[in-house]
Chain A
């Protein structure tokens, strides 16, 4: 997850179209799949990202379902190849094919020599829509998913961060959630999620437009929208339970914690994670509002992390979340550390930014566009954002008013959106 988070940070801090001569070329397949080509013959390499948007339909609201589905897919036969044969073909040509689950959906990232582009795109298509997900590996993958959650939980800091994750696709599943997922759930998920009309393919590197059209048609042309199977009863039941358990600001774990530890619902739901060693750390996570315009989001992402009013707390951007951390004296109180973290965020929210701050951020953003030429992966990410309608417009950045910026700030740091928690030592308040 860390490399992905780092890449996401780069992408978010380098928004907007790059100052590069590479002009995106777009086309679509009859099945609805959209393709963006960034042609660059500097080196004999091809990168691709196939992204599929995930629906927020209730049928798919199982924390852990998307991650488990991706894991099962990775261990499935694909097209005409058994899983071992598939892996050997990838390795034999040095092709990297890495699945990823992020707030923007399911993705497969591909890197191959341009001489292997036919093979690489064929294998990507096999994996994305010709995988044969049997129930054979489900139990092993379920166990591996649970072990991964346990491994993350072994680090108290990572555990706290997981508990505060607002995005349902990235939330850590409970054992109950994982146990409830069965093979029909997975098949239903694949049918609903893996559809060409939800997919965008970004190609970057050493291939021309005609070649790209031919290759994409050959590899993805037969991908069709499947009629989704009826939603299994277990999925509906689990989804309902999950939805019932969650208030707009609570994860299932938070809900469980709140109900178990406090008779009355607290104003700010607190999650307390114990560390075996002396520690006191308050953490706050604020998810970017869905409807925040990308220009305000880009400038706030530049202004907020370095704001001196936060000191000694630290604020960073992780994907679409602002994550604040405040280290306090381990002998202090968890409640005061949490309050102190929140107060800092609210002080910034109430203070807002000035015209001068806005101008500095606009200038920094404009200059940062040059940096994307250093990062081929970021060029791919930016092309994807543009295809999804989430790219930052230079003209709108320059036209942004301080009122709009501060309105965005107030919504992003709205106390109702912020989840907080505390990491504390083995004993204490």
Chain B
């Protein structure tokens, strides 16, 4: 009986309810300030607080190689917390900025001294004396910090802030009571004006330690292989020496460019109206100096990678569970096929998606299967990635074959109506949820502006998704999810990469070769990392032959 009752209730429910709500464009009000800052406000009258998103378009993709990691450092050092001394650096005796400049000099001297020591271990060293001076200086700097718990200005007002570095943007999200809106405006404008970065050295050390202990990972590996030479393919762990050489003044200079007003959109969702917020935003964010005309109008030139670069394969042993990662190069979000591919990803993903149904439950060749769109970003051509973990007793080859069968089915067999309808229903629920959660709505609008160039796309794309036909999706999958766009990574269980003798030997030889030709240690280490990554794409036999060729270039005593 219940078997009949529940679906019946569902059907009755369908006809009894009001039409679905969508993100209403009219709910979002937009203003552009004279200096280029964009402001989006979505008023929610029942809410007594506000969610604010500051989104700076650019992100990791626009970092030049010597500044790799700058966006991550800004997320940590500029926005990690809201310290009073960062906003009022002149308070108290002496200048915090002067101390921080001194710290920068000492840190750089210490870094160079350590490099020198690595080259000539027997030579006399100043490292200890420099370390002692640095310690004394740190005490002086810390003496200027607030000693009170709840020193973070937002935490003291019951709010909080987080910052995320992404491939396309730096996203800062804060939540505070509505009564604190003016305080938030003043604080954020002051933060961008002062750019104090008092905790820069701590943030840099923490990020470097994190990257060092993290080791190689599947997703950055497939990005690097699928998008070679492109910022989207960059693994920050390969740029550690550059990161450690970055100075506070470098980051400040970068922040002045990356966080300039025309790169910024402020999204506010909560108990605030445009009439209330606009005068305050104009008085604070509106006074930030606009960037140079040439800089503000030109996007940086980024390399373009042909999508049909050819079928690429990598095998790696990182320890842990074996996994299969397959990535297809797909177009950027503004491309006409992007929405169809997004729908294709939806048909594949989730507990009711094809991969879970067919690979996990029916064929039982996979323990789990996940699908990610726009890896690592959607502003530029990126990847659609499937990650699947084989079930006990099933090989990666078997899983790969089963995955490709599903992709072929998607491309060739008609998509059943109920499956299509299910995907549309899920999109409807997702839209409702976004509307219901201020943070999610702010992120959605911000992301649409960054990736598609216009926040209105957040709604327009949903409408277009509903009007897509299954044939369009199949056509797009045939165009993009094909072998020439594909990169496959086999992550095998077992030993750690560092214990792979072939990889270890290749690294040794590459380092020795690089040492004979490149003076700069940072460049040298980057070259070795990049070389190793490229070599992983070769077959075992090709890797052995390459190693022999490389060894032949070394002097006999270094072989």
Q: Which residues of A come within 8 Å of B, CB atoms? A: 13, 19-21, 42-45, 79-81, 84, 87-96, 111-119, 122-123, 126, 143-144, 147, 150-151, 154, 156-157, 275-279, 281, 302-304, 306-308, 311-312, 327, 353, 356-357, 360-361, 363-371, 373-376, 423
A320 to B202, CA, bound (A): 28
> Which among B3, B14, B17, B212 is the interface contact of A277 at CB below 8 angstroms?
B212
A308 touches B158 (CB 8 A): no
Q: Which of A20, A44, A122 has the most CB of B within 10 A?
A: A44
A368 to B20, CA, bound (A): 32
B228 at the interface (CB under 8 A from A): no
A277 touches B213 (CB 8 A): yes
A-B contacts, 25 of them at CB < 8 A, read A19-B48, A43-B435, A45-B432, A80-B3, A81-B3, A88-B352, A91-B422, A92-B422, A92-B425, A113-B429, A115-B17, A117-B13, A118-B13, A119-B9, A122-B6, A275-B213, A276-B498, A304-B149, A306-B149, A308-B148, A360-B156, A367-B179, A374-B47, A374-B439, A375-B439
A312 to B135, CA, bound (A): 13
Q: How many residues of B contact A (CB 8 A)?
A: 81
Closest chain A residue to B430, Cβ basis:
A94
User: A residues within 8 A CB of B149?
Assistant: 303-304, 306-308, 353, 357, 360-361
A374 to B272, CA, bound (A): 13
User: A residues within 8 A CB of B105?
Assistant: none
A281 to B212, CA, bound (A): 13
A154 touches B321 (CB 8 A): yes
B158 touches A122 (CB 8 A): no
A353 to B157, CA, bound (A): 18
Closest chain B residue to A368, Cβ basis:
B158
B150 touches A360 (CB 8 A): yes
B158 touches A367 (CB 8 A): yes
User: A residues within 8 A CB of B142?
Assistant: 311
B436 touches A376 (CB 8 A): yes
> Which among B2, B177, B426 is the interface contact of A367 at CB below 8 angstroms?
B177
A20 to B271, CA, bound (A): 12
User: A residues within 8 A CB of B137?
Assistant: none
B160 at the interface (CB under 8 A from A): yes
A92 touches B433 (CB 8 A): no
B158 touches A366 (CB 8 A): yes
B395 to chain A, nearest CB (A): 16
Closest chain A residue to B319, Cβ basis:
A154
B269 to chain A, nearest CB (A): 8
A156 to B213, CA, bound (A): 9
B293 to chain A, nearest CB (A): 38
A205 to B526, CA, bound (A): 54
A44 to B159, CA, bound (A): 29
B155 touches A157 (CB 8 A): no
B297 to chain A, nearest CB (A): 36
A40 to chain B, nearest CB (A): 8
B178 touches A93 (CB 8 A): no
A309 to B215, CA, bound (A): 31
B18 to chain A, nearest CB (A): 7
User: B residues within 8 A CB of A374?
Assistant: 47, 49-51, 175, 270, 437-439
Total of A-B residue pairs, C-beta within 8 Å: 199
* A-B CB proximity, top 4 nearest: A367-B158, A91-B352, A368-B158, A154-B320
User: A residues within 8 A CB of B540?
Assistant: none
> Which among B150, B361, B438 is the interface contact of A303 at CB below 8 angstroms?
B150
Q: Provided the pairs A116-B10, A308-B146 are in contact, do residues A94 and B426 lie with their beta carbons within 8 angstroms?
A: yes
User: B residues within 8 A CB of A116?
Assistant: 10, 13
- The DSSP consensus for interface residues of chain A is helix
A330 to chain B, nearest CB (A): 8
B49 touches A373 (CB 8 A): yes
User: A residues within 8 A CB of B429?
Assistant: 94-96, 111-113
B521 at the interface (CB under 8 A from A): no
User: A residues within 8 A CB of B124?
Assistant: none
A13 to B7, CA, bound (A): 41
B20 touches A118 (CB 8 A): no
Closest chain A residue to B214, Cβ basis:
A277
B141 to chain A, nearest CB (A): 11
- Interface set, chain B 302-340, CB cutoff 8 A to A: 319-321
B436 touches A43 (CB 8 A): yes
User: B residues within 8 A CB of A89?
Assistant: 6-7, 10
A119 touches B6 (CB 8 A): yes
B253 at the interface (CB under 8 A from A): no
Contact code string B185-216 (vs A, CB < 8 Å = 1, else 0): 00000000000000000100110010011110
B390 to chain A, nearest CB (A): 11
A94 touches B428 (CB 8 A): yes
Q: Provided the pairs A87-B352, A94-B425, A308-B151 are in contact, do residues A373 and B46 lie with their beta carbons within 8 angstroms?
A: yes
B202 touches A312 (CB 8 A): yes
Q: Which of A96, A275, A357, A367 has the most CB of B within 10 A?
A: A367
B123 at the interface (CB under 8 A from A): no
- Interface set, chain B 403-455, CB cutoff 8 A to A: 418, 421-422, 425-426, 428-430, 432-433, 435-439
> Which among A20, A115, A327 is the interface contact of B48 at CB below 8 angstroms?
A20
A361 touches B150 (CB 8 A): yes
B14 touches A115 (CB 8 A): yes
Closest chain B residue to A10, Cβ basis:
B160
User: B residues within 8 A CB of A361?
Assistant: 149-150
A113 touches B49 (CB 8 A): no
Contacts A91-B350, A360-B149, A364-B156 aside, 20 further interface pairs with beta carbons under 8 A come to A13-B160, A42-B46, A43-B435, A44-B18, A44-B20, A44-B432, A94-B426, A118-B9, A119-B13, A150-B320, A277-B212, A277-B214, A281-B213, A303-B149, A306-B149, A308-B146, A357-B148, A360-B148, A364-B150, A374-B49
Q: Provided the pairs A13-B160, A278-B212 are in contact, do residues A376 and B150 lie with their beta carbons within 8 angstroms?
A: no
B152 at the interface (CB under 8 A from A): yes
B318 to chain A, nearest CB (A): 8
B18 touches A111 (CB 8 A): no
User: B residues within 8 A CB of A115?
Assistant: 13-14, 16-17
User: A residues within 8 A CB of B467?
Assistant: none
Q: Provided the pairs A43-B435, A368-B158 are in contact, do residues A357 and B150 lie with their beta carbons within 8 angstroms?
A: yes
User: B residues within 8 A CB of A423?
Assistant: 213
> Which among A113, A114, A306, A376 is the interface contact of B428 at CB below 8 angstroms?
A113
B48 touches A93 (CB 8 A): no
B159 touches A368 (CB 8 A): yes
A376 to B18, CA, bound (A): 22
A367 touches B157 (CB 8 A): yes
Q: Which of B49, B156, B433 has the most CB of A within 10 A?
A: B49
Closest chain A residue to B48, Cβ basis:
A370
User: B residues within 8 A CB of A96?
Assistant: 429
Q: Which of A116, A156, A376 has the most CB of B within 10 A?
A: A116
User: B residues within 8 A CB of A366?
Assistant: 158
Contact code string B117-161 (vs A, CB < 8 Å = 1, else 0): 000000000000000000000000010011111111001111110
User: B residues within 8 A CB of A375?
Assistant: 437, 439
A9 to B350, CA, bound (A): 26
B21 at the interface (CB under 8 A from A): yes
A337 to chain B, nearest CB (A): 12
B321 touches A150 (CB 8 A): yes
B351 touches A327 (CB 8 A): no
A395 to B321, CA, bound (A): 51
- Interface set, chain B 20-47, CB cutoff 8 A to A: 20-21, 46-47
A242 to chain B, nearest CB (A): 27
User: B residues within 8 A CB of A275?
Assistant: 213
User: B residues within 8 A CB of A367?
Assistant: 157-159, 177, 179-180
A278 to B214, CA, bound (A): 10
